[in-house]
Structure formats: structure tokens, C-alpha cells
Amino acid sequence: MIELIPAIDIIDGKCVRLSQGDYKRMTTYNHDPLEVAKEFQDHGIRRLHVVDLDGAKAHHIVNYKALERIASRTSLIIDFGGGIKSDGDLEIAFDSGAQMVTGGSIAVKNPEIFLSWLDKFGYEKIILGADAKDGKVAVGGWLESSDKELIPFIDSFVKSGVRKVIATDISKDGMLQGPSVDLYKKIIAQIPDVYLIASGGVASVDDIEKLELAGIPAVIFGKALYEGRITLKELLRFL
């Protein structure tokens, strides 16, 4: 059964979503992310993906208080990302209640630090964030592109001990036009050892079923829930 991971993206302490990572195309869905998290939990959800979008822009954790509120008042298993650039950021995230941390830009710009976290905390607690724009890895809250090709980038880290990877096709994110199933199938085919978490574009329960049929282990989704395209009741069949 595919693992369901709803997303809460945070700006100024509020639950928001961007379209294609564009900070100018932001919609606010709830002023209290904790309310959203509690609703997820009440419907049987166990996992949560929390992104500090202010942190991604600022290159350090900003919304750790929101993480702390969610972690202390729910039993959700949370992975947290956005602005994780140093051991200090990592400690703040874990001290605030995250069970896992996602590093994206840091893995591109300072892979030595990222790999040291694997040694220090173990591969179960460290997730590689691999976000693609036109097949190239994007960094800095998707505001910058790198010259690294997505699949070789993921493969190099899996060979270094990474097991969990969140792969996002930025062109699909927040657009409600369906996920990049073919891309995820290609990643799984070339890197069979990876626990791949597909992210971006999910618009319906049918999209989740397509990913499950393709053998994708887990999926992150958000906007479809907030826009009412997917109801929490519909997700019960996967739980």
C-alpha cells in the first residue's frame, strides 16, 4: 500500500501553497497549521511533510515554532524541510519535534555536510530532497537552478547511503494536472534501492492509484486536499 503524506507548507506561520514554487503565486488556506494537522490525524493520517518556505528563502530555519506546535499536539510522524543548512538547523528541527529532516539545497551545495548527517543521525532520519526543473536539480526554495541532472544526482547519494528521496517535478507542483508518473517509474527502474516519495501534481485519488500501480512507495500531496479535489474520506481505502 502506498504511503500517504499530506503536506503543510508554511509562510508567516500560516498554511499556504505555491504554484510551481513561485512565491508570488501563493494561496493561504489556513492561519493555523495545527488545525490542519489535527484534521489529518483525525482521519487516520499518520505521516506529515512540513515545509518552511520562509526558511528555504532565508537559508535557515524560520518557522520552527509552528513545527513545535504540530509535533507537541499531534502524534503525526513529521519530516521537516526548508532552510536546513547546518548542524544547528538540524538540531532545532529535531528539538522542535521532527522525526525526519529533508535536505535539498544543502545536498547540492555542500554534500559533505549532508553526508555527515547520515553518519551522525542514520539514514532513517535524513531524507534527500531532489527537486527538478527541466530535468535539472533546483535549489534555494526552487529559486535557483543547478547544472546537476536529476537521476544521476539521486543515484550518487543512494550509493553514499541515502535511502529515502523526495522527488518533485516543479513544473507539476501546485498545478493539479497530474504527477510525473513516467519520471518516477524511470527513477525506480534505474535506482531500485531507493524509497521514492513522489511529490507534485497530484489532483485526484486516481493519481494516487496510478502511482501505487507504478510501484511508487509513497506520495506527498497538498493542494488537491485544500482545493477539495481529494477528500480525507476518500483516502481511507489507502490507510
The burial of 15, by beta-carbon neighbours within 10 Å (0-12 exposed, 13-18 middle, 19 or more buried), is given as buried
Beta strand segments in 58-181, E: 77-81, 100-103, 126-133, 136-139, 144-149, 164-169
Catalytically annotated residue among 131, 155, 169, 173:
131
How far apart (Å, rounded) are the C-alpha atoms in residues 42 and 207? 23
Is residue 199 within 8 Å of residue 3, measured between CB atoms? Answer: no
Is 131 part of the annotated catalytic residue set?
A: yes
User: How large is the angle between the packed helices 150-159 and 181-190, nearest 10 degrees?
Assistant: 40
Beta strand segments in 56-99, E: 77-81
Catalytically annotated residue among 9, 52, 89, 169:
9
What residues have CB less than 8 Å from 188, skipping those under 6 apart? 194, 196, 214, 215, 216
Is 22 part of the annotated catalytic residue set?
A: no
Instruction: Give catalytic residues, as residue numbers.
Output: 9, 131
